[in-house]
C-alpha cells in the first residue's frame, strides 16, 4: 500500500476510523470522508503527526456532487484513486414496517445504496484510466437474512451485494477489483443502537461478542492484495474459516 491513494467513507469512527489508521500505517495516503469534520480532522491530524499522510473532507455520500468532490480531491492531492472503501452506512431507526418512518427509511436507502452507487460511479473512470483499482463495499449478513425491524438495512445491504456483482461483471476485465466484506457483528456505535432497540436476536448479544474494528481493518487491507482475487465480484465473510485461516485470525 506504500504511497497508494485510499478513500474511506464513514471514516469518523468504528470500521472507517480503524481502516484509515491501518492503511496509513501501511504507507497509504488516506482521504477520510464523513458528514461532519470534527472527528475526521482529529484522526487525520493524528495520522499526520505519526508520519502518515491524511486529509479530512466533509462528505455526505447521499449527494453525488460531494462524492465526486472526494474523488477529485484524491486525484489532485494524491495523484489518483487506488482504493475506495464504501463504508458509510446507517441502521437507525430500528422499526417494524407498519410503524416505520418514511423519511428515515428513505434516508437509509440514500446513504446505504445510493451512496455506494455514487462512489462506484465517480471512481470507476478514474481507476480505469490508471489501469485499475479496488472498490470494497461493506456489506452484511443482513443481505440474506430477514431480521425484524431492519427492513431498510436488510434491503440496502442486499442491494449493494448485487451492485458489487454488477460492477465486477462490467469492469472486472478493465482492472477494477470489486469486493464486498460482510464483517459480522463489530464493536461499533451501531451495536449500541441495536442493543438499545431490543429487537431481533442481534440485540441480545453482549459487547464482548463483537469483533473489534481493528480486525476488520486488517481484513480490508488484505482484500486489496492479489491473495483475495478468488473473491472478486463476491462476498468475503469475516467469519468464514478460510478467511480466518488466511489472515491468521480466530
Which of 117, 118, 153, 231 is flagged as catalytic? 153
Whether residue 118 lies in the annotated active site? no
Contact, 135 vs 176, CB < 8 A?
A: yes
CA nearest neighbour of 135 among 231, 2, 14: 231
Residues with active-site annotation: 153
Amino acid at each position: 500500500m506504500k504511497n497508494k491513494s485510499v478513500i474511506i467513507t464513514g471514516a469518523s469512527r468504528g470500521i472507517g476510523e480503524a481502516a484509515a489508521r491501518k492503511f496509513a500505517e501501511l504507507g497509504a495516503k488516506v482521504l477520510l470522508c464523513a458528514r461532519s469534520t470534527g472527528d475526521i480532522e482529529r484522526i487525520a491530524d493524528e495520522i499526520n503527526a505519526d508520519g502518515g499522510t491524511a486529509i479530512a473532507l466533509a462528505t455526505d455520500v447521499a449527494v453525488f456532487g460531494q462524492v465526486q468532490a472526494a474523488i477529485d480531491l484524491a486525484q489532485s492531492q494524491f495523484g489518483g484513486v487506488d482504493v475506495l472503501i464504501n463504508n458509510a452506512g446507517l441502521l437507525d431507526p430500528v422499526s417494524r414496517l407498519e410503524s416505520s418512518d418514511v423519511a428515515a427509511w428513505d434516508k437509509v436507502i440514500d446513504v446505504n445504496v445510493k451512496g455506494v452507487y455514487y462512489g462506484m460511479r465517480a471512481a470507476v473512470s478514474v481507476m480505469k484510466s490508471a489501469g485499475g483499482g479496488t472498490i470494497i463495499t461493506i456489506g452484511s449478513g443482513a443481505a440474506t437474512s430477514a431480521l425484524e425491524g431492519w427492513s431498510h438495512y436488510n434491503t440496502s445491504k442486499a442491494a449493494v451485494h448485487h451492485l458489487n456483482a454488477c460492477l465486477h461483471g462490467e469492469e472486472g476485465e478493465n482492472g477494477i477489483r470489486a469486493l464486498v466484506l460482510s464483517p459480522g457483528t463489530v464493536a461499533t456505535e451501531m451495536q449500541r443502537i441495536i442493543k438499545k432497540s431490543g429487537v431481533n436476536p442481534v440485540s441480545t448479544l453482549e459487547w464482548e461478542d463483537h469483533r473489534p474494528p481493528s480486525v476488520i481493518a486488517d481484513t480490508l487491507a488484505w482484500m486489496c492484495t492479489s491473495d483475495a482475487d478468488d473473491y472478486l465480484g463476491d462476498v468475503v465473510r469475516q467469519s468464514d474459516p478460510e478467511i480466518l485461516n488466511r489472515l491468521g485470525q480466530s
